[in-house]
């Protein structure tokens, strides 16, 4: 409380004192200065910040000799068979209502694998909520209150206008103690070394953020949502003043996608990028490391169509400087589809500007998404045919072909066996798997022995185990 008072006092004096005042101790000169408070902002935003309760079913397995193949355990991380022991597990996070219909933004990790979601408003009302969209790549999710109504909501602000040193408030439910407000400043912008999402471009703040704040609100002094708290750096589990929030520009992008569909469709670059190190910068004749290098191109992809070549140095995108692959990916991947991104490049000693079309990855083969049922090891797995669009969704190489596991239902046979999102199914009992129909037929076979060829992280593994 003392630190907050000091911060408020410092802010008041910075506004009230004339520019010519000498650096000396001063006292408030009026009752109005003493009464300065963030409470008007809190009254405006707090009703829109909710508690999010997610319930998921967790299966624990008793070990069984049916799944004691050492190769199987090595590949699937020690998964075992046997009778499942189910238990319900709950998680608590926060969320922010972003329109009057009850659309709520929260973190993906708050509602991951949830079977039921409830939200509690600041006025103690509780509602069931439906998951509208989950986007693991940004660690954001959108849920909607089932009951129709006119709910309090927070305006999504402009995170691009933030500057280091700006005052911000964090509102959420840390450790489940109830709605809490903390105050701090923007400590840094464009943090890209935070490994909780693909599109890493975080706002760093020293406003206290703790477990339970995830998915809540980081707001500016106009009460606008400028970020969604998502992660902290801590060795103790509590706040040490290094918290990270997803910028409002990403939040708006995902919310807009949720209004029109159940998944995020984002631009596809069709290229791989590499960071510029000090040694590379020196070899290129640069005064300092800047930009990113084109390391690979997908034939016919947007980057190739724009005329980019391997070795090109990308310096800016839409007028924003590029410092590393993550910052480029953030700027390009969160553009709306349609139009083109203007990218300044350097090739040799020549500079120029190219326009890269903002288009979705093509679905060259229909994904034919299917959920496998029955009692096979694949039961509960959602599978689909590979294409550039699916590869983009699952963060896989674009040249893969065949059938990929897109999702695994918690507690299902596929989950107990150890299948993971992104596994490529190449062969089942000697049958090459070319598409989802082939896998569906293979999974319906009655057999006492399952022989699989799976590819994960570029490694092929042959497995044999009893059914």
3-state secondary structure of 424: strand
* Last-in-domain residue among 249, 265, 281: 265
Taking the C-alpha atoms of residue 80 and residue 92, their distance in angstroms, rounded to an integer, is 29
Taking the C-alpha atoms of residue 1 and residue 119, their distance in angstroms, rounded to an integer, is 29
Catalytic residue among 91, 94, 108, 109: 109
Amino acid 192: pLDDT: 63
Rounded mean pLDDT, 30-34: 73
pLDDT tens for residues 416-462? Answer: 888 899 999 999 999 999 999 999 999 888 888 888 899 998 888 88
Taking the C-alpha atoms of residue 464 and residue 449, their distance in angstroms, rounded to an integer, is 7
18: pLDDT confidence band, cut at 50, 70 and 90?
Answer: very low
Rounded mean pLDDT, 382-398: 88
- Residue 69 falls within a domain, yes or no? no
Which uninterrupted H or E stretch holds 427?
Answer: strand 424-428
Amino acid 12: pLDDT: 29
- Residue 436 falls within a domain, yes or no? yes
Q: Is the dihedral of CA 19, 21, 24, 25 positive or negative?
A: negative
DSSP states along 148-207: --------B--GGG--TT-EEEEEE-GGGS--EEEEEEEEEEEE---TT-SS--EEEE-S
The residue with tokens 């319930």 is: 55
Nearest Cα residue to 417 out of 58, 79, 86: 79
Is 60 exceeded by the pLDDT of residue 404? yes
Domain shared by 138 and 237, yes or no = yes
Instruction: Return all residues near 217 (Cβ < 8 A) that are at least 6 apart.
Output: 45, 48, 49, 94, 96, 154, 169, 170, 171, 172, 225, 228, 229
- Residue 71 falls within a domain, yes or no? no
Domain shared by 26 and 166, yes or no = no
Taking the C-alpha atoms of residue 379 and residue 358, their distance in angstroms, rounded to an integer, is 37
Amino acid 13: pLDDT: 25
* Last-in-domain residue among 265, 292, 326: 265
214 is catalytic: yes
Domain shared by 177 and 209, yes or no = yes
Taking the C-alpha atoms of residue 345 and residue 313, their distance in angstroms, rounded to an integer, is 5
Amino acid 52: pLDDT: 93
The answer for 176, left when phi > 0, alpha when psi is -120 to 50, beta otherwise, is left
* pTM attached to this predicted model: 0.72
CB 207 within 8 A of CB 168: yes
Amino acid 29: pLDDT: 77
DSSP states along 234-279: -SSSS-SS-EEEEEHHHHHHHHHHHHH-SS---B---EEEEE--HH
Taking the C-alpha atoms of residue 418 and residue 78, their distance in angstroms, rounded to an integer, is 8
pLDDT tens for residues 133-157? Answer: 998 888 999 999 999 999 999 999 9
CB 343 within 8 A of CB 271: no
Catalytic residue among 113, 135, 139, 206: 139
pLDDT tens for residues 210-243? Answer: 888 888 999 999 999 999 998 877 666 666 778 8
Q: Which domain holds residue 32?
A: 2-37
- Residue 82 falls within a domain, yes or no? no
Is 60 exceeded by the pLDDT of residue 415? yes
Amino acid 368: pLDDT: 93
Residue 96 has φ and ψ, to the nearest 5°, of -130, 125
Q: What is the CATH number of the domain that holds 216?
A: 2.40.10.120
- Residue 63 falls within a domain, yes or no? no
The answer for 194, left when phi > 0, alpha when psi is -120 to 50, beta otherwise, is beta
Q: What is the CATH number of the domain that holds 408?
A: 2.30.42.10
Amino acid 196: pLDDT: 47
108 is catalytic: no
């Amino acid at each position: 409380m003392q630190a907050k008072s000091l911060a408020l006092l410092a802010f008041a004096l910075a506004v009230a004192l004339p520019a010519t005042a000498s650096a000396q101790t001063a006292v408030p000169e009026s009752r109005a200065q003493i009464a300065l408070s963030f409470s008007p902002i809190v009254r405006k935003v707090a009703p829109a910040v909710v508690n999010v309760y997610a319930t998921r079913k967790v299966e624990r397995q008793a070990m069984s000799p049916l799944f004691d193949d050492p190769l199987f355990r090595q590949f699937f991380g020690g998964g075992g068979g046997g009778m499942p022991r189910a238990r319900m597990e709950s998680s608590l996070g926060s969320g922010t209502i972003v329109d009057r219909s009850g659309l709520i933004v929260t973190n993906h990790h708050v509602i991951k694998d949830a079977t039921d979601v409830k939200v509690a408003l600041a006025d103690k009302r509780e509602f069931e909520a439906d998951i509208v969209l989950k986007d693991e790549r940004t660690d954001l999710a959108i849920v909607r209150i089932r009951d129709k109504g006119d709910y309090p909501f927070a305006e999504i602000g402009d995170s691009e206008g933030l500057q280091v040193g700006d005052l911000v408030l964090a509102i959420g439910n840390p450790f489940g103690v109830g709605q809490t407000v903390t105050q701090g400043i923007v400590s840094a912008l464009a943090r890209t070394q935070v490994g909780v999402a693909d599109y890493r471009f975080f706002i760093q703040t020293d406003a206290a953020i703790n477990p339970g704040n995830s998915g809540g609100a980081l707001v500016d002094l106009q009460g606008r949502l400028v970020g969604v708290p998502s992660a902290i750096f801590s060795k103790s589990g509590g706040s040490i003043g290094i918290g990270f929030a997803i910028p409002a520009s990403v939040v708006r992008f995902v919310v807009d996608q949720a209004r029109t569909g159940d998944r995020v469709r984002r631009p596809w670059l069709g290229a791989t990028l590499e960071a510029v190190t000090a040694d590379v910068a020196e070899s290129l004749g640069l005064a300092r490391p800047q930009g990113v290098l084109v390391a690979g191109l997908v034939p016919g992809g947007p980057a190739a169509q724009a005329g980019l070549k391997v070795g090109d140095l990308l310096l800016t995108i839409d007028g924003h400087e590029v410092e590393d692959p993550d910052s480029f990916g953030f700027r390009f991947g969160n553009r709306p589809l349609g139009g083109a991104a203007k990218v300044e490049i350097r090739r040799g000693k020549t500079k120029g500007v190219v326009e890269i079309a903002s288009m979705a990855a093509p679905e060259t083969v229909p994904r034919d998404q299917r959920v496998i049922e029955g009692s096979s090891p694949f039961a509960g797995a959602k599978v689909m045919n590979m294409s550039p669009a699916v590869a983009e969704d699952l963060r896989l190489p674009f040249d893969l072909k065949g059938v990929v596991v897109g999702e695994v239902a918690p507690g299902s046979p596929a989950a107990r066996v150890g299948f993971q999102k992104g596994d490529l199914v190449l062969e089942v009992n000697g049958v090459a798997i070319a598409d989802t129909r082939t896998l569906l037929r293979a999974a319906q076979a009655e057999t006492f022995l399952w022989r699989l060829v799976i590819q994960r992280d570029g490694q092929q593994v042959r497995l044999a185990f009893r059914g």
